[in-house]
Amino acid sequence: MSGRMREHFELRDTDAGGRIGELTVPRAGVTVETPALLPVINPNLDTIAPRRLAEEFGAEILITNSYIIHGTDDVRERALEDGLHELLEFPGAIMTDSGSFQLSEYGDIDVTTEEILEFQRAIGSDIATPVDIPTPPDVSRERAERELETTQERLELAETVETGEMLVSAPVQGSTYPDLREEAGRHADSTELDVFPVGAVVPLMNDYRYDDMVDAVAGAKRGLSADAPVHLFGAGHPMMFALGVAMGCDLFDSAAYALYARDDRYLTVRGTRNLEDLEYLPCSCPVCTSHSPDELRALPDDERETELGAHNLHVTFEEIRRIKQAIRAGNLLELVEQRARAHPTMLDGYRTLLDHAAQLERSDPVSKGAFFYTSHESARRPEVLRHHRRLERLSVPDSLFLTEGQPARGDEFDDSWRVEPPFGPFPRALSKSYPLTAEVPARTDRAALEAAADGVARLAEANPETDLTLGHRSWPDGVLERLPDDVALTDLSSDRS
Ligand SMILES: [Zn+2]
């Protein structure tokens, strides 16, 4: 609601809900380009040393758990004495989690919001996290509301703690109630806090409930202002980054690279593989080009874990770079469509994302590279929705021929417009403008025809006085039924004289 200016986060490029941004982290003296991946570091056991994360993988930011540091005597003393950057030997920004996750897993932690924030500041954290209540999915609405109230009280308390240059995150909870997520987002946005994790989505991801995850994030995004940096807390599998970014998430954290490596699991953007099942390594990272699967399997446990962890990280950072390039090129949704094919539940996630096309449309650029129609889901993209809205504002003559074929000859009509599935009708003068320059398959599908028919219907409803005639190439009856009765029809395919 407050919509106050956030000087530490600047948006540079957008595509659908995705964006490239710059998160300035004043205490670390660094600017992190987003979307960014924060590798999770357990100070008690690092699979890959933080210095290596920075030097070899280009990690600009990582996350570690202040609750674990607080609870481990020797680590705590060293963190307080030397600071986190020295302790971890990491030159970039360091975010700390508060232990809320431990709270959700083990039911109880023994520190207050003030104590844990002051501790995070004392150990030199650059972005701190208050102790919120990570309400799990599917709880009663009453519980979700009650716990959200507690989280909101703690965020308000966190605002009053003297934190200096340290940024402080404001987790957005609300379980699987999108309206509560929205309310939580609006409340968090109204505070003076800086970074906005969408919390407690890990159980959804563990159960492959990407559709519910999308609804939760979409709710939170509706409450947050556009310049709020959003962290999808606990999302570390590269398969779902493109989906998360397209929803408007800017920060991801990965413990997966290390946890999976420990279990001999090999990450790919199309899902997880077990090392024992691999006869080939479908990757060109240094690990995969210097080992065969047999050689990896033959390594001692700790070495194999490190090598697999390195591969997992390479794949993860590679996907983040691919996503940034897709945003820059304006084809993020094509990438999401590809990733959606990795798993049926990812497809559910993408289809749910398209339920929020109107929300995505607000940040989608008016013009970008060519729109590629690559699946029937493409018919529901924000660009199609925007074109349909635009149809209501276009001026039309008294009689108009809408056609998939040649313009009308003679003076039967005042004008002829093109019809192109999935967009529907448009004046020929717009043919060269985005998204009507789209590349569409010659063998069109039902979803594209239905979307085109909806466009015709939209135009007809906005202009009841205009005589509309549609020249179509044998659209099925079920598609034609979407049109108002007063649109005259002519089947161009049956007219081969
Ligand atoms: Zn690899």
In a domain? residue 496: no
What span, in angstroms and rounded, lies between the C-alpha atoms of 405 and 129? 60
Q: Domain ends where: 330, 360, 390?
A: 360
User: Residues with Cβ < 8 Å from 391, sequence gap 6 or more?
Assistant: 424, 425, 426, 455, 458, 459, 462
Q: Is residue 288 a known part of a binding site?
A: yes
* Whether residue 205 has pLDDT greater than 70: yes
- For residue 497, being part of any structural domain is answered with no
Interval between CA 284 and ligand 1 midpoint (Å): 6
Same domain, 340 and 427: no
pLDDT of 39 above 90: yes
Query: What is the 340 CA–ligand 1 centroid distance (Å)?
Result: 22
Q: State mean pLDDT over 221-242.
A: 96
Residues 315 and 401 in one domain: no
Our count of domains for the chain comes to: 2
What does pLDDT average to over the chain? 94
Q: Is 283 annotated as a binding residue?
A: yes
Q: How high is the pLDDT of residue 71?
A: 85
Residues 192 and 292 in one domain: yes
Per-residue pLDDT reduced to its tens digit, 292-302: 999 999 999 99
Spatial separation of the C-alpha atoms in residues 497 and 250, rounded to whole Å: 57
Q: What is the pLDDT of residue 100?
A: 64
In angstroms, the CA 233 to CA 249 distance is: 10
Q: For position 67, what pLDDT does the model report?
A: 85
Torsions phi, psi for 396 (to 5 deg): -125, 150
- What tokens appear for 438 in the block? 């789209």
pLDDT tens across 117-151, in order? 999 999 999 999 998 999 999 999 999 999 999 99
Say whether 249 counts as a known binding-site residue: no
Return the closest-CA partner of residue 468 out of 477, 482, 457: 457
Q: What is the CA(344)–ligand 1 centre distance, in A?
A: 25
Residue 21 has φ and ψ, to the nearest 5°, of: -140, 175
Mean pLDDT of 247-259: 96
- Asked if residue 133 belongs to a domain, the reply is yes
Q: Is 58 helix (H, G, I), strand (E, B) or coil?
A: coil
Could you give the percent of the chain with pLDDT greater than 90?
89
Q: What is the mean pLDDT of residues 225-243?
A: 96
**pLDDT over threshold 50, residue 250:** yes
Ligand 1 centre distance from Cα of residue 228 (Å): 34
Instruction: Say which of 97, 126, 211, 364 is annotated catalytic.
Output: 97
- Tell me the mean pLDDT in the region 368-386: 95
Please indicate, yes or no, whether residues 384 and 347 belong to a single structural domain of this protein: no
How far does residue 148's CA lie from ligand 1's centre (Å)? 41
Summarised one tens digit per residue, pLDDT across range 459-483 is 999 999 999 999 999 999 999 999 9
Same domain, 323 and 258: yes
| Residue 381 and residue 349 share a domain | no
Whole-angstrom distance, CA of residue 120 vs CA of residue 84:
9
Query: How do 424-427 and 18-25 pair as beta strands?
Result: unpaired
> What is the distance in A from the centroid of ligand 1 to the CA of 307?
9
Identify the pLDDT of residue 38: 98
**Residues 170 and 282 reside in one and the same domain:** yes
In-domain check, residue 3: no
97 is annotated as an active-site residue: yes
Domain of residue 449 covers 372-491
Q: Give distance in angstroms: CA of 342 to centre of ligand 1.
A: 18
Ligand 1 center from residue 309 Cα (angstroms): 10
Structural domain includes residue 337: yes
- Report residue 107's pLDDT band, with 50, 70 and 90 as the boundaries: low
Tell me the CA–centroid distance for residue 135 and ligand 1, in Å.
Answer: 36
Tell whether 310 and 413 lie within a shared domain.
no
Q: Identify which of 346, 137, 328, 134 has the alpha carbon closest to the alpha carbon of residue 238.
A: 346
| 187 assigned to some structural domain | yes
End position of a domain, from candidates 308, 336, 360: 360
Q: Is residue 239 part of a domain?
A: yes
E-assigned strand segments in 371-487: 399-403, 415-420, 424-427, 467-472
Q: What amino acid is encoded at 175 in this protein?
A: S
| Cα(235) to centroid(ligand 1), Å | 20
What is the value of pTM for the model shown?
A: 0.95
Whole-number Å distance, alpha carbon 12 to ligand 1 midpoint, is 31
Give residues with Cβ within 8 angstroms of 262, minimum separation 6.
47, 305
CATH number at residue 75: 3.20.20.105
Please give the pLDDT value at position 495.
57
Q: What is the rounded average pLDDT of the residues 362-384?
A: 94
Q: Tell me if 41 is assigned to some domain.
A: yes
Predicted pLDDT of residue 342: 95
Same domain? For 153 and 293 the reply is yes
d(CA 41, CA 62): 7
Choice among 9-18, 113-122, 275-284, 397-406 with the minimum mean pLDDT? 113-122
Specify the range with the lowest mean pLDDT, choosing from 1-10, 65-74, 421-430, 487-496: 1-10
On whether both 316 and 209 belong to a single domain, the answer is: yes
Do 306 and 397 lie in one domain? The reply is no
Span 440-445, average pLDDT: 95
Q: Which residues surround ligand 1, an ion (CB under 5 A)?
A: 283, 285, 287-288, 311
**At residue 255, does pLDDT exceed 50?**
yes
* pLDDT > 60? residue 496: no
Q: Are residues 335 and 473 in the same domain?
A: no
Q: How confident is the model at residue 103 (pLDDT cuts 50, 70, 90)?
A: low
Checking phi first, is residue 446 left (phi over 0); if not, alpha (psi -120 to 50) or beta? alpha
pLDDT for 3 equals 43
Q: Over pLDDT 70: what percentage of the chain?
A: 96
Query: For the chain, what is the radius of gyration of the CA atoms?
Result: 26
